[in-house]
Amino acid sequence: MIDTIALNQYDVAGINLHFICTHNSRRSILAQIWAQLAWHCFGVVKVICYSGVTE
C-alpha cells in the first residue's frame, strides 16, 4: 500500500483512503486520525482519509 501511495501522491486527484470497520466505528475513526497524522508528519501531500462503519 505504501508503494502505491508514494507513486500516486502527486496525482491531480490525490489519494483517498477509506478505513471501514464492522460493529465499532471507533476503530475506523482512530485509524483515520493516525493515518492522516502520519501523512502530515512525513510530508505526504494529497492523501485524504475517511472512516466508516458497516452497521
Q: What is the pLDDT of residue 23?
A: 79
Give the separation between CA 26 and CA 29, rounded to whole angstroms.
5
- DSSP per-residue letters across 2-26: HHHHHHHTTSSS-EEEEEEESS-HH
Domain boundary assignment for the chain: 2-53
Can you tell me the mean pLDDT for 3-22? 78
Q: What is the pLDDT of residue 30?
A: 92
Q: Quick one: cell of 47?
A: 492523501
Residue 46 is given by DSSP the state S
Amino acid at residue number 52: G
Give the separation between CA 8 and CA 26, rounded to whole angstroms.
28
pTM of the complete model: 0.71
